[in-house]
Amino acid sequence: MAKEIVKYNNNMNKIPLKNFSKNDLNFFFAICSQVKEKGSDLIELSFDRIKELADYKPTANQRFEDDLRRMNEKLAHITTSFETDEEIVTFNLFSTFRILKTKPILKVRVNQDFTWLLNELVKEFTSFELQEYIALEGIYSKALYRLLKQWKTQGKTPKYEVAELKELLSTPDYIPKKLMDKVIKPSVEEIKLSGAFENLWCEVVYAKKRGKPVDGYIFHFDKDDLKGQIYFKDVEEFEQIAAKTKTEKAAVMATANNLLKAKKSTKKQKNSFVEGCSRRKASTDKREERYNALLEKSLLGMELTGSERTEFEELSRERG
């Protein structure tokens, strides 16, 4: 099976998926991987396709239908909301969720008011490899993995306060010691064993007051150089995606070859193109950020519009 990428706006990480089982989480993000960049179109997914994506083991369709329906009922009953400086938004992500038992297929449509959560993402988004996520067994490991992926290029997360982390990971109201022993330590260990993050560890931050109570947690890891985030079937397909100037295409193809080699090795590979780019910058930080956003969009397999290609070429020339 070709690598599938889950990609969504960072606000999705603020939605705690409480009472979701491992199968529920696998179903949800498998479906998200298929509806991204489809706007509010009605998408049809066969039962077999969903089972394959979610690595669903039971074979009976009746049980599958029950599990799929149960997941959507949980999704509909949780408080699906997030807050900005200006508003508090509550919503249902899927406006249509129809299980056709006789086909057998699922028809799903993203709520038109919130297609931005899964579409036209060039900055402030989280992306990860679906199969890597599915392989994690623990529900807390899965939740922590998604939070870490939001900061994969930073090398560490911001500080999560104790209450905040419990909410985001959907844990019981554990005291800090129990939270560390039952949630954080086993989750960090499983994620480390999966190879998703190298040198992952949790820093406990203590408050500067009497008794030094736990104030929060910061997770540290090696910065991600896009290893595992790029998906393509072969170099020819990647070349079609990377419709750029000759200079940029040659550089991107070099990156593709490096990534193909990385797949065959357990050792971390250095990305020569990224290293080269690190020595050059656009005229302003904002333009440099825009260049990196367009580059990552292209590398993630998303087609650039005509105006975006023109902008990318202009920024590439500016960077020398």
String of b and e for 167-176 (b: at least 16 CB within 10 Å)? ebbbbeeeeb
Range list of β-strands (E), 190-291: 201-206, 214-220
How many domains are there within the chain?
Answer: 3
Q: Which residue has the tokens 């036209």?
A: 120
Tell me, yes or no, whether 18 and 113 share the same domain.
Answer: yes
Q: Residue 227 falls within a domain, yes or no?
A: no
Structural domain including 289 reads 235-319
Q: Residue 228 falls within a domain, yes or no?
A: no
Q: Residue 21 falls within a domain, yes or no?
A: yes
Q: What is the pLDDT of residue 171?
A: 95
* Helix/strand/coil for 305: coil
Q: What is the pLDDT of residue 256?
A: 55
The pTM of the full predicted model, rounded to 2 decimals, is 0.68
Tell me, yes or no, whether 66 and 100 share the same domain.
Answer: yes
Contact 4, 131 (CB under 8 A): yes
Tell me, yes or no, whether 20 and 102 share the same domain.
Answer: yes
Other beta carbons within 10 Å of 198 = 12
Residue 129, strand partner residues: 5
Preceding omega of 172 cis (within 30 degrees of 0)? no
Boundary residue ending a domain (81, 107, 131): 131
Q: Residue 230 falls within a domain, yes or no?
A: no
Q: Residue 165 falls within a domain, yes or no?
A: yes
**3, 75, 111, 297, 320 from 132: Cα distances, Å:** 10, 23, 27, 20, 36
Torsion of CA 293, 298, 302, 304, to 10 degrees: 80
Q: Which two tokens stand for residue 162?
A: 């104790």
Tell me, yes or no, whether 46 and 77 share the same domain.
Answer: yes
Q: 255-273: per-residue pLDDT in tens?
A: 555 555 554 454 444 444 4
Q: Residue 15 falls within a domain, yes or no?
A: yes
- Integer Cα distance of 12 and 125 in angstroms: 9
Q: What is the pLDDT of residue 233?
A: 39
- Integer Cα distance of 163 and 173 in angstroms: 8
Give Rg (Cα) of the chain. 21
Q: What is the pLDDT of residue 268?
A: 45
Q: 178-191: per-residue pLDDT in tens?
A: 999 999 999 999 99
Contact 215, 261 (CB under 8 A): no
Digits of tens for pLDDT over the chain (320 positions)? 668 899 999 988 988 888 899 999 999 999 999 999 899 999 999 999 999 999 998 778 889 999 999 998 888 776 566 677 777 777 678 888 999 988 889 999 998 888 888 987 777 889 999 999 999 999 999 999 999 999 998 999 999 999 999 999 999 999 999 999 999 999 999 999 999 999 999 999 999 989 899 999 999 999 865 444 444 434 334 444 444 444 555 555 555 555 555 544 544 444 444 444 444 677 887 888 888 888 877 776 667 777 788 888 888 888 76
Contact 7, 126 (CB under 8 A): yes
Tell me, yes or no, whether 142 and 214 share the same domain.
Answer: yes
Q: Which two tokens stand for residue 105?
A: 């297929």
Tell me, yes or no, whether 102 and 11 share the same domain.
Answer: yes
Q: Residue 226 falls within a domain, yes or no?
A: no
Tell me, yes or no, whether 18 and 102 share the same domain.
Answer: yes
End-to-end CA distance of the chain: 39
Tell me, yes or no, whether 150 and 214 share the same domain.
Answer: yes
